[in-house]
Structure 1
Amino acid sequence: MKRFLPQSLPSWVLLILIASLLTTQVATLSIVSRDRAENNNVLELFRLSERAYTLVKVLYAAPPSERSILASALSNTANPLSMSDEPAVTSAIASDDSLAELEDVLVARLSAFGVTDARIRRASNRPPSRPATNPSAPDPDVGIVERQLSDIAEDFSQSDGLAASIKFKDGQWLNFVTPIAPEPPIFTAQTVPLFGSVAAVVIAMTIWAMRRLTAPYRALERAVKRIGDDVKSPPLPEFGSSEYKSAARAVNTMQAQLREYVADREQLAAALAHDLRTPLTRIRLRLELLRKSPLRQSLTHDLNDIEAISRSVIDFATYEIVDEEQEKIDFWSLVDSVADGFPQASFDKTSHASRGLICMGRPIALRRCVTNLVNNAVTYGEKAHISLAQSGADILLTIRDEGPGIPQAKLDEVFQPFRRVEGSRNRQTGGFGLGLTIARNIARRSGGDITLANDTDGGLRAELRIPRAV
């Protein structure tokens, strides 16, 4: 059930708004329909009262012997009227309170014309159902007003009515039926498109307003992701709603603190790089004085390890110190120049068709990223097979070696600093576990990423994705 529910805040707000709109529309139409029914009922009672007053006043002035003739003359199909010795409404008990009250009102109002009793009941005037027939085509000679009057007359002839029997003091009963005006439906061929258009306009304006309202938050999301890739990215603009400005201010504060931390780390690495050179140089000079000492070879070996470790740590800590400007780079030329420095590296035949792939990035950093990947393949897999192609909006660089590969569970571990796979990565055959870490950091700062996988034909496959320049 949860998979059918919205997963984002704008979708939830839009769903709640549409549900509220529909609920309000249904409630409003229900109230309007009920009020129309109540008002129509009161209006029909008023029409019956006025008609009863007019008929009684006319018939009371006529002699009793002529009332039947006069009633027949006033009667028609839509409004039947008759005089009789027995009431057409046989029940003396009203069906509801409103009719009972109207009976009392009529007796009191018409008592001056000799009326002693009044009975009113609701009567059904609907004809029995007949099989549906195909409606005939409208007569082109009939005007709009004439057609509308004909339709209204037909509706009246099939509608219910109010039957009334009014007794004169001489015992004669006036019987007549007043048809109830048919209540027009709320939903018609004219109103449905109107309701639909209004709902569509409201929904469209709501979607537009929600997109405008949540646009800063989408920008906030993109900015936070950008900070994760590059802590030196520009700060967020603080504008919009108060909630967004507070969130943007907090993110900018966090980014400033991260920048200070990175700057402190870079300054520490630079100081280490400067301070370590002097004692290491002195130690190496003093080792030269131990020409025939048996400790010279072992101390030299240990000193080389210390220098290698120091260079690796300093390189890892200071690879972001050089503040390069991004520029357009011919990625094919960059990879080709890197491959020229490795005799064990070769391009696949299909890669030559991918010349002219341009990306945006820092030239020195990207060269270092590609160099680390190729060096990693040559060092641990003997050979590096390079393939370059376009993949959608990205440039895909694939480097496959012929080594033993890496266990599936450790494919992500090798990207962590100083992590090496035992048996294949050691100080005699490789570095100190920082090459892939630096390469992935450079790739992500350029908007791409690096993934590792064991190739089906054997060896390890490294894939570097970099966005193409527009």
Structure 2
Amino acid sequence: MKRFLPQSLPSWILLILIAGLLTTQVATLSIVSRDRTESNDVLELFRLSERAYTLVKVLYAAPGPERKQLAAALSNSANPLSMSDQPAVTSVIAADDSLAELEDVLVARLQEFGVTDARIRRVSARVPTNTAPGPGAPDPDAGLIERQLSALAEDFSQSDGLAASIKFKDGQWLNFVTPIAPVNPIFTAQTLPLFISVAAIVIAMSIWAMRRLTAPYTALEQAVKRIGEDVKSPPLPEFGSSEYKSAARAVNAMQAQLKEYVADREQLAAALAHDLRTPLTRIRLRLELLRKSPLRQSLTHDLNDIEAISRSVIDFATYEIVDEEQEKIDFWSLVDSVTDNYPQVSFDKPARASRRLICMGRPIALRRCVTNLVDNAVTYGGKAHISLAPSGGDILLTIHDEGPGIPQAKLDEVFQPFRRVESSRNRQTGGFGLGLTIARNIARRCGGDIKLENDVKGGLRAELRIPRIA
């Protein structure tokens, strides 16, 4: 059930708005339809009362023997009228309270014309037995008013009615039927397109207003993601509603604090690593004064490790400090120039169409990212095979080495600083666990990412994805 529900706040707001409008519209139409029905019922009772008054007044003045002739003359197919010795409405008990009250009103109103009783009942619609057009059928070339009158007459002939039987004091009964005016439905062939058009306009305007209202928040979401990838990204523009401006102002303040924190961390690490060079240099000079001995060799080896660690820390701390402008890069040429320095690497030369792989990034940083990946593959795998190809809107660089691979549980750990599969710090078995960390940070800053996975045929496969531009 949840998969059919909206997953975003604008969709929820739009759904609630449309549901509220539909509920209000349905409720309004229901109320209007009920009021129309009630008003029409009262109006029909009024029409029957007025017709009964007119007929009784006319027939009362006529002598008894002439009433039947006069009633027959006044009768027609749409409004039947007759005089008889027996009532057409045989039931004495009214069907509902409104008809019973109307009977009492008629008797009281027509008492001066010798009326002693009145009976009113509802009758069902009469189904015509002859569907062929009669002599009064309108001509196809008739005007609008004539066609409307003909259609209305046909509706009256097939509508329900109110049958009335009114008794004079001489025992004769006046029987007549008053057709009930048909109530047109709210939704017709003429009104339905109007309702649909209005609803479509309201929904379209709601969608437009919702998108315009939530557009700054979408930009806010994208900016926060961009800050997560690159803390040095431009700050958010503070425009729009007061709520959005407050949120943008808070995000910009947070970004500024993060930039200061990261800069302080980078400068601190770089300063510490740099300051270590001076005492290390003095130690190396003093070691030269010592005679050859196993202790001197051990100290020299340890000193080399300390210097390597210092260089790694400096590289890790300063790669973000370098302010390098982004530019268009021929990624194929960049990878080709990197692999030329590694005889252990075989580069599958792509087709001419695949060579036009252009991306946007910082040239030195991106070259360093590729170099770290290739160096990692050569260091731990001995040999590496590289392929380059477009993949959707990205450039896909695949590096497959011939090493033992990495345990599945540690595929994510190797991206953390100073984490290695081989736990020692022996430079003969690898670096200090910063190469992949730097490579992934550079890739993410360019809008891409790096993924590691063990190949089923053996070895480790590293995939670098970088957004491609036209």
TM-score w.r.t. length of structure 2: 0.93
Tell me which residue corresponds to 1:215.
215
1:28 corresponds to: 28
Shift of 1:143: 4.1
**For structure 1, which segment, 400-409 or 321-330, has the greater mean C-alpha deviation from structure 2 after superposition?**
400-409
Name the CA shift for 1:230/1:133 in 2 (closer, same or farther; >3 Å): farther
Aligned-partner residue type, residue 321 of structure 1: I
Q: Which secondary structure state, in structure 2, belongs to the residue aligned with residue 388 of structure 1? A: strand
Separation (CA, whole Å) in 1 of partners of 2:124 and 2:186: 23
- In structure 2, what is the equivalent of residue 164 of structure 1? 164
Once residues 422 and 268 of structure 2 are traced to their aligned partners in structure 1, the CA distance between those partners, rounded to angstroms, is 31
1:453 matched residue in structure 2: 453
Change (3 A) 1:430 1:351: farther
Matches within 5 A, 1:253-268: 253-268=253-268
Q: Which residue number in structure 1 is paired with residue 180 of structure 2?
A: 180
Gaps of 5+ in 1: none
- Over residues 187-226 of structure 1, what are the superposed CA-to-partner deviations in whole Å (9 max), with x where a residue is unaligned? 2222222222222222222221221122112111111111
CA distance 1:133–1:291, shift in 2 (3 Å): farther
1:386-401 equivalences in 2 (<5 Å): 386-401=386-401
Counterparts in 2 of 1:138 and 1:100: CA distance versus 1, 3 Å: closer
Residue 359 of structure 1 corresponds to: 359
Residue 69 of structure 1 aligns to which amino acid in structure 2?
A: Q
State the shift of 1:450 in Å: 0.8
List per-residue Cα deviations over 1:7-45 (Å, max 9, x = no partner).
222222222222222222221221111111101111111
Deviation at 1:142, TM superposition (A): 4.2
Q: Per the alignment, in what secondary structure is the counterpart of residue 350 of structure 1?
A: coil
- Counterpart contact for 2:273–2:313, Cα < 8 Å: no
* Contact kept? 1:380, 1:424, Cα under 8 Å: no
SS in 2 for 1:456: coil
Which residue number in structure 2 is paired with residue 417 of structure 1? 417
Quick one: distance in 2 between partners of 1:353 and 1:171?
A: 108
SS at match of 1:76: coil
User: Helix, strand or coil for the counterpart of 1:181?
Assistant: coil
Distance 1:387 1:429 in 2: 26
Paired with 1:159 and 1:219, the residues of 2 have a C-alpha distance of: 62
Residue of structure 2 equivalent to 1:435: 435
Q: Which residue of 1 aligns with 2:382?
A: 382
- Report the 3-state secondary structure (helix = DSSP H, G, I; strand = E; otherwise coil) of the residue aligned with 2:390: strand
Letter matched to residue 80 of structure 2: P
- Whole-angstrom CA distance in 1 between matches of 2:323 and 2:360: 15
Contact 1:351 1:388 in 2 (8 A): no
Cα distance in 1 for partners of 2:347, 2:268 equals 40
Q: 1:352 deviation in Å?
A: 6.1
Any idea what SS the aligned residue of 1:468 has? strand
**Partner SS state of residue 308, structure 2:** helix
SS at match of 1:240: coil
Cα offset, 1:129, TM superposition = 8.6
Partner residue of 1:60? 60
The Cα of 1:421 is off from its aligned counterpart by 1.1
SS at match of 1:321: coil
Residue 14 of structure 2 corresponds to which residue in structure 1?
A: 14
Aligned positions of 1:270-309 closer than 5 A? 270-309=270-309
For 2:225 and 2:436, locate their aligned partners in 1 and report how far apart those are by CA, in whole Å: 21
Residues in 1 aligned to 2:208 and 2:368: alpha-carbon distance in whole angstroms: 46
* Aligned position for 1:115: 115
Relative to the length of structure 1, the TM-score reads: 0.93
1:95 equivalent to 2:104? Answer no
Contact 2:267 2:317 in 1 (8 A): no
Aligned partner of 2:85: which letter? D
Taking a change above 3 Å as real, the CA distance of residues 56 and 138 of structure 1, as seen in their structure-2 partners, is: closer
SS of the residue aligned with 1:164? Answer: strand
Give the aligned partner of residue 43 of structure 1: 43
Give the 3-state SS of the residue equivalent to 1:437 in structure 2: helix
| CA deviation profile, 1:73-118 (whole Å, cap 9, x unmatched) | 1111111111222222223332222122222222222222222322
Q: 1:172 to 1:70 in 2, by over 3 A?
A: same
Query: Contact 1:420/1:426 (CA < 8 Å) preserved in 2?
Result: no
Deviation by residue 1:265-298 (Cα, 9 ceiling, x = unmatched): 1221232133212111111111111134542211
Pairwise CA RMSD of aligned residues?
2.3
Please tell me the residue identity of whatever aligns with 1:242: S
How far apart are 1:349 and its partner, in Å?
A: 3.7
Matched residues, percent identical? Answer: 87
Gaps of 5+ in 2: none
Instruction: Determine if contact 1:351/1:387 at 8 Å carries over to the other structure.
Output: no
Shift of 1:423: 8.0
